[in-house]
């Protein structure tokens, strides 16, 4: 299994440009999470999907951010227009089914997309 | 105040030392507790999880939860250079186990 695949691994763009980050979850996993990681704030949950349906997008910082999951094997996170404060590492994670009976939220993370907005 | 607080470190120890990593939290609804390990330029990976108060051991790792003090710990015995990573505590409330809240992470360096 190739794990969770994210692209691009690195993106450098200028303020005002549109950024699209992509994620392919593990086959058979039916929950998908987008996180953002910065030194100051750590890992923050942006949005998550269960069975391709967005469940909670309360972590999305602004209307400039949007996420879609058109099918079980693909998701995108889009920032339009991008700003320097959006610079961070964006992680996608997937999970098989719901959190287990133990409550353990066993997420498998991708390697992340490092975004720099100049 | 953040819901989950974690000392960022860095924590630097010699090989073979016992390491103690800690988190405090403010939300008494947290009931499921996890530790993730993150190597440089990689995504976090689940190391251990525990439910409610108590201890759990897995090889060189022991996770401890004290709900009365809102305090969790991860102990690493006989630390190895390969343990050098950032350790993130994470927890979920009983009413929404989908919502995993992370600490900011403690960077650990084990030198030979």
pLDDT digits (tens, 9 = 90+) for B26-56: 999 998 899 999 999 999 999 998 887 788 9
| B9 contact residues in A (CB cutoff 8 A) | none
Taking the C-alpha atoms of residue A109 and residue A113, their distance in angstroms, rounded to an integer, is: 11
pLDDT band at A2; cut points 50, 70, 90: confident
Query: pLDDT digits over B12-31, tens only?
Result: 999 999 999 999 999 999 98
Q: Do B51 and A103 touch (CB under 8 A)?
A: yes
Higher pLDDT pick, B100 / A37:
A37
CB–CB contact A50 B32 (8 Å): no
Q: Round to whole Å and give the CA distance between A68 and B81.
A: 40
Cα nearest neighbour of A31 on chain B: B98
Which residues of chain A lie closer than 8 angstroms to B105, CB-CB?
42-43
Q: Count CB atoms within 10 A of the CB of residue A68.
A: 14
pLDDT of residue A85: 95
pLDDT of residue A26: 95
Exposed e or buried b for every residue in B24-59, given b needs 16+ CB within 10 A?
Answer: bbeeeebbbbbbbbbeeeebbebbbbbeeeeeeeee
Query: Whole-angstrom Cα distance, residue B58 to residue B37?
Result: 14
3-state DSSP call for residue A86? Answer: helix
Residues of B in contact with A54 (CB under 8 A): none
Quick one: pLDDT at residue B111?
Answer: 96
């Amino acid at each position: 299994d190739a794990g969770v695949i994210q692209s691009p691994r690195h993106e450098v763009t200028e303020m005002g440009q549109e950024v699209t980050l992509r994620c392919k979850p593990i086959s058979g996993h039916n929950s998908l999470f987008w996180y953002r990681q910065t030194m100051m704030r750590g890992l923050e949950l942006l949005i998550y999907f269960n069975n391709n349906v967005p469940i909670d997008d309360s972590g999305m910082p602004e209307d400039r951010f949007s996420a879609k999951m058109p099918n079980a094997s693909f998701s995108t996170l889009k920032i339009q227009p991008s700003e320097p404060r959006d610079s961070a590492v964006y992680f996608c994670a997937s999970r098989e089914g719901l959190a287990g009976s133990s409550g353990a939220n066993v997420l498998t993370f991708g390697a992340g997309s490092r975004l720099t907005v100049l | 105040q953040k819901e989950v607080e974690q000392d960022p470190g860095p924590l630097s120890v010699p090989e073979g030392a016992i390491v103690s990593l800690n988190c405090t939290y403010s939300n008494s609804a947290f009931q499921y507790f996890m530790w993730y390990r993150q190597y440089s330029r990689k995504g976090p990976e689940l190391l251990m999880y525990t439910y409610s108060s108590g201890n759990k051991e897995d090889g060189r790792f022991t996770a401890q939860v004290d709900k009365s003090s809102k305090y969790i710990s991860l102990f690493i015995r006989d630390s190895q250079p390969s343990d050098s990573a950032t350790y993130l505590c994470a927890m979920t409330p009983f009413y929404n186990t989908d919502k995993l809240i992370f600490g900011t992470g403690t960077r650990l360096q084990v030198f030979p």
